Structure 1
Amino acid sequence: MDATTPGSLAPDLLEREDVRRALAEHDFAAAFALIKKYGGLSQNRIASACHLTPGKVSTIISGQQQVTSFEVICRIADGLRIPGHLLGLASRSWETRSVRETPAPEPESERPDTDEVPWRPEATVDLAAHLTRSDLVMDRRAATRALAGAAITGAALLDPLEGWLQPTAFTARPRRRGRLGVREVEELESTARAFRAWDHKYGGGLRRKAVLGQLSEVAAHLDEYQVPKVERRLYQVMAQLAGTAATMAWDTGLQRRAQSYYLLALRASHAGGDMVFGANVLAGMARQMLYREQPQDALELVRLAQDGARSVAGPRVRAMLHTREAWAYAAMGRTAAFHRATTQASEALTDAKSAEEPYWIAYFDEAELAGTTGGRLLELARQNPKKHAEAAAGEIRHALARRGPEAGRSHALDRIGLAQCHFLLGDLTGAVAETHRAVDAASGTRSNRVRAQLGELYPYTVGNSAARPVREARDRIRDLLST
């Protein structure tokens, strides 16, 4: 038996109060015992339906082992055809299929073809519920094992994203009537904004669970019927929360899960009609690919963002997209294309006015452009120090002059980059001084990206072990990375 075949539980069994209570409490010892007694299913039949071993079912029924795995709970729901709401889950795929297969009659011309329009808003709500619930029920160690998979690349990543360019399509499904008003939506928007600002400053995902809890709440509101204006804004809040969850997951090394939340953010921005934020999400996905040394995938993601938001993106967003484009070119060694894209970013930023664009792009100013450009020139300098190291140092100094320690993660990355520039230029005195400043800045953030960059600075100190100041700087890096 699998998730596509009917289950064997009689409807009246699921109406029993003792069965419903056991399922709601995830007491599967009691639930399985009741299913055996009143449902007529043997232990082997339960095991087969849920893709468990008979021995596993036996230990569950005897109380020797509890079911804590979200994946196993989903297998039980699908195998025995237990509706998701009885287990605190979102509606299972076989439930939503049965609803869509027997809709109220409507004119042929008005009925959407779900096979041709897979980017349905209600599917986005289901995805949000699944992702957040699976994250929230797992402990830290289990999450690290389950979620830290390698990022998807190539066509497997890019092809499913083409739906972002298509019009939003809704399909009707029965929903409870919601009572959310504009004021409540404004409060949710304020919370999403606060989480985003916190992550931008500190990184590291210390409040990731709080973001996921808020995201789960928004998904629950969207599972109800809301008036169109409220629904649209809720999808936009979902997009922003999912985008923050993605950067937090990525910043803590959960690459695969970060992609899942990026995809959720993209789908939510699509459902909410916010193509500009969708372009920002694609830029975040591109940045992840660049850190994963997949510049061609990154370039394709940036071009997809530019195509979708070309007519609505403001100058700051366009400038940011050009810097991602330049980053990809630098990683590919295409120096002329890098300089061209960087010039386009600078020209676009000249036209920027803070009142014209969303709050979330306000961070992209001259300092951000200089820091990003300096980082890319540093990559080129590692191959040709004489040609690019001084230019990289100049851009990074320009960034540091315009944003200080309050920038948190960005400030630390600038300091680390400048220290590397000094090493490449052969200036050990300046390199040691900047390394100490870099360690000071890095110690104030929980970002794994900062620690990874600090780890890349460490080898520059190894070949100069005879110099005591360099050894002292190296010891400080090692002490911080070992904590």
Structure 2
Amino acid sequence: MRTALAAREVSSVYRLLRRTGVSQRQIAAMTGQSQSEVSEILKGRQVMAYDVLARIADGLGVPRGYMGLAYDEVTAIRVAVTREPSQPEESEEVKRREFLAHAAAVTVGANVLGTNSGSWVANPVQTPAPGRIGMTDVRQVEAATRALRSLDYQYGGGFCRDAVVAQLSWGQQMLGASGPEHVKTRLQVALADLYNLAGWTSFDIGLTDSARTHFGKALELAKAGGSEPLVANILYRMGRVYLHKESPNDALKMFQLGQIAAQESGSELAVAVICANQAWAYALMGKKEQTMQLIGRTRDEFARANLDDAEDWVKFFNETDVYAMIGTVHTVLAQTVDPMHTKFAIPALSRAIDSYGDEMTRSKAFNLSALATNHLLEGDIDHGARVGRTAVDLAESLKSSRVKDRLKPLLQEASKRRNNPDARDLADQITNLNVA
């Protein structure tokens, strides 16, 4: 039974229960399924959805950790970095240098800034692996990653991070299994993207060290699997961590490494993503000329990109995201260089916001916050406050500290205008959200 649970072979679990006298009707009652569903599973239908697996575990009284579904102590040992009490905590600057050295070594084979890849690199205890893996096992990892990424977009990293980490525990078991080389290669890429998502959801709730750990492992697996577009995507995401931490110089180094991988991949879409984020970094540094050059290149690369053939981890960068990035970059320039950039930021952000569906709640909140900031900069306080309140309402519905952090520029502009009652109310509303 433990073997069947660990492999998530629900059909085997149900057959074992039937063998000991548990009826289909009893299984259905315990797991919240219909009797016909139980019958289909007994005939071999696979169960892959995380929420269904969790409900089955809970209904049967099985610890979720037996199925790799819980971030319990066992999972933590397998996938989390632990630091010995005797080791002093490294400074953020040292951690960044170590990660850059590791990223450079993985991306271009360079040995720069020292040879130590850093104490943040995870060395998980190997778990018992299945004897042999096939493409079905890999597709399960890919399907789980897609489903969890959708939850992240809609509800924030805090809603699904533990589930992502639990999936890593399951996926990690398969790396030591035997199987055809093409299956192993695809598994490396699939697990790289799952680690990539673990890094992103960790970042979204403010766990920077955990994010760095997962991104580091993701880089290694993506490179081993020969996926340069995914290498570029991982480096872009780590650069975004540094942008969020107001360290554009460090972010730019990540993006420059990412650009090497993107160009090696031949993917114009991957190049466009990196260019857009490089523009953001330069905008934060107040360098308008470089910013505008990169915005232009973003448009050009995106226009040439083949969106239909794009892989999952870069397909998110569609026309809506191009407008969102252009609006974001001009918002930064409006704050740091020239308020006249609001005339470019507002239409771009408005177009992005109008295109977002309910499944992109977090992105919509980001852009509403930036749009409100631009309206305040233009002196349209009433409208800016109205848009800002919508952004705050969305932020309250998300389990994402990053969304709350991104409200800080809006809080700053609203606080400057506290003599206006609408601006004052908006500033108070943001402060009450624990942003200040």
The normalised TM-score by structure 1 is 0.65
Q: How many residues align structurally?
A: 343
Does structure 2 retain, via aligned residues, the 8 Å contact 1:148–1:257? no
Structure 1: gaps of 5 or more residues = 1-128, 139-145, 168-174
Does structure 2 retain, via aligned residues, the 8 Å contact 1:454–1:477? yes
- 1:385 CA drift (Å): 4.3
The amino acid across from 1:133 in the alignment is I
Stretch deviating more after TM superposition (351-360 or 362-371): 351-360
The amino acid across from 2:392 in the alignment is V
Does structure 1 retain, via aligned residues, the 8 Å contact 2:284–2:336? no
- 1:215 CA drift (Å): 0.7
Partner deviation per Cα, 1:362-388 (whole Å, 9 max, x = no partner): 221121111112112111111244332
Distance in 2 of aligned mates of 1:482 and 1:432: 16
| Secondary structure class of the residue paired with 2:210 | helix
Change in Cα spacing, 1:386 to 1:209, as seen in structure 2 (3 Å) is: closer
Distance in 1 of aligned mates of 2:374 and 2:108: 45
Aligned pair 1:297/2:250, yes or no?
yes
- 1:412 CA drift (Å): 0.1
Distance in 2 of aligned mates of 1:434 and 1:405: 17
- 1:176 CA drift (Å): 7.2
Does structure 2 retain, via aligned residues, the 8 Å contact 1:302–1:325? yes
The amino acid across from 2:77 in the alignment is R
Hey, what does 1:267 align to over in structure 2? 220
Does structure 2 retain, via aligned residues, the 8 Å contact 1:147–1:254? no
The normalised TM-score by structure 2 is 0.72
Hey, what does 2:401 align to over in structure 1? 448
Hey, what does 2:178 align to over in structure 1? 225
The amino acid across from 1:225 in the alignment is S
Select the residue among 270, 274, 281 that pairs with 1:321. Answer: 274
Query: Structure 1 vs Structure 2: percent identity of aligned residues?
Result: 27
Hey, what does 1:156 align to over in structure 2? 98
Change in Cα spacing, 1:383 to 1:136, as seen in structure 2 (3 Å) is: closer
Alignment of 1:233-244 (within 5 A): 233-244=186-197
The amino acid across from 1:463 in the alignment is K
Does structure 1 retain, via aligned residues, the 8 Å contact 2:323–2:349? yes
Partner deviation per Cα, 1:201-233 (whole Å, 9 max, x = no partner): 322332212111111121111123333122112
Alignment of 1:118-267 (within 5 A): 132-133=76-77, 150=92, 152=94, 155-165=97-107, 178-267=131-220
Change in Cα spacing, 1:349 to 1:458, as seen in structure 2 (3 Å) is: same
Partner deviation per Cα, 1:300-323 (whole Å, 9 max, x = no partner): 222212223313242221110111
Change in Cα spacing, 1:313 to 1:446, as seen in structure 2 (3 Å) is: farther
Does structure 1 retain, via aligned residues, the 8 Å contact 2:278–2:294? yes
Structure 2: gaps of 5 or more residues = 1-72, 83-87, 110-127
Distance in 1 of aligned mates of 2:423 and 2:248: 34
Hey, what does 1:460 align to over in structure 2? 413
Hey, what does 1:339 align to over in structure 2? 292
Alignment of 1:20-31 (within 5 A): none
Change in Cα spacing, 1:432 to 1:164, as seen in structure 2 (3 Å) is: same
| Secondary structure class of the residue paired with 1:443 | helix
Change in Cα spacing, 1:251 to 1:154, as seen in structure 2 (3 Å) is: closer
Change in Cα spacing, 1:453 to 1:147, as seen in structure 2 (3 Å) is: farther
Does structure 2 retain, via aligned residues, the 8 Å contact 1:132–1:215? no
Distance in 2 of aligned mates of 1:293 and 1:199: 23
The amino acid across from 1:334 in the alignment is K
Change in Cα spacing, 1:303 to 1:448, as seen in structure 2 (3 Å) is: same
Bigger radius of gyration, 1 or 2?
Answer: 1
Runs of 4+ with >4 A deviation: 129-132, 134-138, 146-149, 151-154
Partner deviation per Cα, 1:33-61 (whole Å, 9 max, x = no partner): xxxxxxxxxxxxxxxxxxxxxxxxxxxxx
Distance in 1 of aligned mates of 2:198 and 2:368: 26
